[in-house]
Structure 1
Amino acid sequence: MPRTYWVETLGCPKNQVDSDKLTGTLAADGLVPAASAEEADLVVVNTCAFVEEAREESVATILALEERRADGAELVVTGCMAERYGDELARALPEVDAVAGFGVPVTLGRTPAGRRGLIPVSVEPAPPTLDLLNLPRPRSARPWAYVKVAEGCDKACGFCAIPSFRGPQRSRTVASVLDEVRALQVREVVLVAQDLAAYGRDRTGDGRVEAPPGTTPIAELVRAVADEVDRVRLLYLYPSELTEELVELIATGPVPYFDLSLQHVSAPLVRRMRRWGDGDRFLGRIDGIRALRPDAALRSNFIVGYPGETEEDHDRLLDFVEAARLDWCGFFSYSDEEGTYAAGLDGRVDDGLVAERLAELRELQDRITGERRDALVGERTVVLVDEPGVARSHREAPEIDGIVEVPEDLAVGELHLVEVTAAAGPDLTAVPVGDRAAAGAVRSS
């Protein structure tokens, strides 16, 4: 009887891609998925270590799964916490059978205790494995999939420790990305990377990522992927990397969705974050996008309570949020990360004050999001049905934003023209165009 596995994934979409690669490797080694963690012979936790809250969630999940695993089952920790803390994590969690980062190939082998488990294998440094990116991946069970096109980051943002344990940016070839896209057999591909718009910059000198004069590797990649699938969505775009070419490419395509990593708008604080831009520049960019494509959707995230953040800085952010009227926006409290530039800064913001600022910003954005969603009632849009009764238009990224509720008999995995009939907070309700009676019934309910 084949051994079974269960993979628990925490953190961002990039981690989900790593988990998909890992499950492909496990399947290739003859393991089959278990119905639950309690029934698995091998339990793997793919952790997140971006901020303190994520680390706490990862540890809590590891301990919970340790209590639930079956007798004789093996528990393995991988992902960002394993990459960042390694031996320290293994010492802190003696309940875990192995801690294995993604920096080296991972395969099934035999542990020193004699049981089969997941262990890192020593290899030569070339060719690079890019943290599982070039390993096989099973076909997607959904009509969409994340595709990670690069690992690591060359930025030096003051608050971020990711480059310290994920390394510098390492981009995949266009050919390898396209091979994965074809194998997934999906209608929508969501491209992800730590610094997506900088894709290919690290490889242009060796001829492995080609871009004609006047264009960029990321633009060439988007065009190539768009030839394979109906919809291409981009996540994690740094404003300093957003060229006019890329803006026009996204805005004129079927998914005019801009996920802009802004983090703050007060110029002095942005400089202290070791980042580019300010509120006026960001508003100018947003206005330009909307002039090119009025129905474009925009998302961003902001850090609240970065060392040195004043009331004036906070007021500037409030004013920006009101003026920008983004469709989606996340606000996160600053997390002091060991080894980062910000960890040594003065001007700590009191936790209670951070909580107040977060609440004020979230209340404002909830109102804006609700108003923007209400304004869509009566409009027609094309949606992709992800599962019975659940769909998304170009305005909703999977697993991040709201959804569009549709009739459960609408074909899954297909694109449909629908009319929005109602809005409730972040979610919409829609019916297929032509179903006038159903639309009237929804409006009157």
Structure 2
Amino acid sequence: MKRLVVLGGGESGAGTALLGQAKGFEVFVSDKGKVKPKYKDVLIHHGIDWEEEQHTEALILNADLVMKSPGIPDSVPLVKALVEKGVEVISEIEFASRYTEATLVGITGSNGKTTTASLTHHLLKNELNVGLAGNIGDSFAKQILEDDFENYVLEISSFQLDGITDFRPHIAVLTNITPDHLDRYDYKFENYIASKFRIVENQTKDDYFIYDADDPVIAEWLSNHSIQSRPLPFSLTKTIDNGAYATQNEIIVTIDNNQIIMPIKKLALDGKHNVKNAMAASTVAHLLKIRKQTIRESLENFQGVEHRLENVLRINKVQYINDSKATNVNATYFALESMESPTIWIVGGQDKGNDYKELFPFINEKVKAIICLGVDNEKLMATFGNMVDIIVETQYMSEAVKVAYKVAEAGDNVLLSPACASFDLFENYEDRGRQFKECVRSL
């Protein structure tokens, strides 16, 4: 019996353990932190061996196959030791994909991948048997075991792509590439770019690659590398014969002379970045033969994603907006770009080597006050201190929201769009967003 060791007992770890057990592996789960009660219960119920708050090397180095949670860097000594021994170390996306014949749509990118994946799933679900997995919802492995959908839309991070060998989506989508997570890539942007492009490395001429033709990083990479799959670009600035583009008023998607045209003003989500997300999702739906009418209707009634430019409440004619999912500068760029009113901006957290320069035009034009919310706000104070009249440091969400409430006047927006990771003060970006919403609701 082959031994499968799962490093990390979270959503992807528990899912892999269950699928591995069902496929005849002897399974052991090891987590350096605490395993959440809901995952513990699953492991105990299924009689799967596990440990927490330690990695016992004797029980790990004897593995035939290791699935490593995306949160564990390749550089940790234990992972290096496994690789040196010749043990295959893979991600959950790779492991799970070996046990399904489903049509896979893989979506990656620095920003927009959750919205694009959720929107794509929304466009497909009325006419296809389709699951939504990856970085979102129940793990891919668990869904293969329990639901066995005929199609999957997968939101995939660069960390998950780092752990693939044969994973091959029939349709790959790359929303954009901007500097992010550079702390995991030796602070080399080219390493991160290469990681994102792994989504196409196993594709063949029978597969499709949908990407943002306006993104200079993507264009540069494609000019120097060849890919096997069929390119279907989307653009806000160019006319595209095979793929998607936008005029002032419409989105036009064309595949082999078969066209769908949709009015932009009817899209449920605002902002230029959401026109791009809609183009990517519509191209997938068109490829998978979803009816034009269904695509149009679904684009009009899509509700968006929690923690992504989510309107929370309007209090005294001030709109409070939760964009906690903006964990990098580029995501915050889109948020500030879409603000139509004077904005009180709540920013800060764990900085990943951020360069805030591209935000300066919006700060001058739209931001009237900045509230820094982080353990260390020094860089933010130094960067933006002279650009606005009001800049305040806080260490608590409740305090940040109270300050915003005091400063805001009728017609303003209060925007939580941190441009940073959340781990200095919060469990994760969801926790940060929920705390924001609770504090707003209790004003």
What is the TM-score with the length of structure 2 in the denominator? 0.35
What is the TM-score with the length of structure 1 in the denominator? 0.35
